[in-house]
Amino acid sequence: DAKTTQPNSMESNEEEPVHLPCNHSTISGTDYIHWYRQLPSQGPEYVIHGLTSNVNNRMASLAIAEDRKSSTLILHRATLRDAAVYYCILAPGGTSYGKLTFGQGTILTVHP
Amino acid sequence: EAGVAQSPRYKIIEKRQSVAFWCNPISGHATLYWYQQILGQGPKLLIQFQNNGVVDDSQLPKDRFSAERLKGVDSTLKIQPAKLEDSAVYLCASSFIPGANEKLFFGSGTQLSVL
């Protein structure tokens, strides 16, 4: 499975935008880019996903590079409740049944 | 909409004992996953079901772990006998159908401590 590289940790201030980067240089044409986050003592929570075009939803925006070798998750106004581990994952298409392989993720700390 | 239900929330056992975890996915979700999350690591897929059939169990330690989803709805994951290294959170997830364009819904997990 293609792998992703994320910073181990990032910090932000409340009400400021947060840009979480992810590198996936070995991405294949059918891989979807997924982001999940995990709050303490909870299971992972879906945030957003996309294939080629940028995506927006109520939680965040996903900016995908034109060559698809990197992407950025954007939280427009961080709140204390956004403090979590954020996982960038490639979900392979084809016959792999969309298997998600989690890495270490980025620990986001939000300061009041 | 009800989420993925898991029980128990916590379990403490001695090594070499057996333990079972239960998962009820979101209604109508055909695909069910069991993940193992060791402290400080990301979740690792153990097994994936499509309805009541297994589509991926390549990372399931089959000498001690077993899982079933007999009626294509709820599922049970069993460990027998447990080892110290099995201490982890066991997460169940479900999706409407399998596929890279589908999102997964996770339960809160069962935290297992093996002493």
pLDDT string in tens for chain B (115-residue length): 689 999 999 999 999 999 999 999 999 999 999 999 999 999 999 999 999 899 999 999 999 999 999 888 999 999 999 999 999 999 999 998 888 888 999 999 999 999 9
Put simply, whether B110 touches A (Cβ < 8 Å) is no
The C-alpha of A16 sits at a distance from chain B's nearest C-alpha, in angstroms, of 27
CB atoms within 10 A of CB A30: 14
Picking from B102, B108, B110 by the largest number of A CB atoms within 10 A of its own CB, the best residue to mutate is: B102
- Residue B25's H or E segment, with its range, is none
Q: How far apart are CA A35 and CA A20, in angstroms?
A: 10
- Going by their DSSP bridges, the two strands A106-111 and A9-13 should be labelled as parallel
pLDDT of residue B4: 97
Indicate left, alpha or beta for B24 from its phi (over 0: left) and psi (-120 to 50: alpha): beta
Chain B contact present for A100, CB below 8 A? yes
Task: Tell me what pLDDT residue A95 has.
Answer: 60
Residue B109 phi/psi, 5-degree rounding, is 90, 165
* Predicted local distance difference test score (pLDDT) of residue B9: 97
pLDDT at site B67: 97
Question: What's the token pair of residue B45?
Answer: 């897929």
Which of B26, B50, B106 to mutate to probe the A interface, most A CBs <10 Å? B106
**Which element (helix H / strand E) includes A22?**
strand A18-23
Rounded alpha-carbon distances, angstroms, from residue A62 to A50, A67, A75: 7, 15, 9
**pLDDT of A100:** 87
Task: For residue A67, give both structure tokens.
Answer: 């060559």
Cβ–Cβ under 8 Å, residues B2 and B103: no
The answer to whether residues B74 and B81 touch, using CB atoms and an 8 Å cutoff, is: no
> Residues A14, A79: contact at Cβ < 8 Å?
yes
Q: Which of A15-19, A29-33, A48-52, B97-101 has the lowest mean pLDDT?
A: B97-101
pLDDT band at A67 (very low <50, low <70, confident <90, very high): very high
The length of chain B in residues reads 115
Q: What is the pLDDT of residue B52?
A: 87
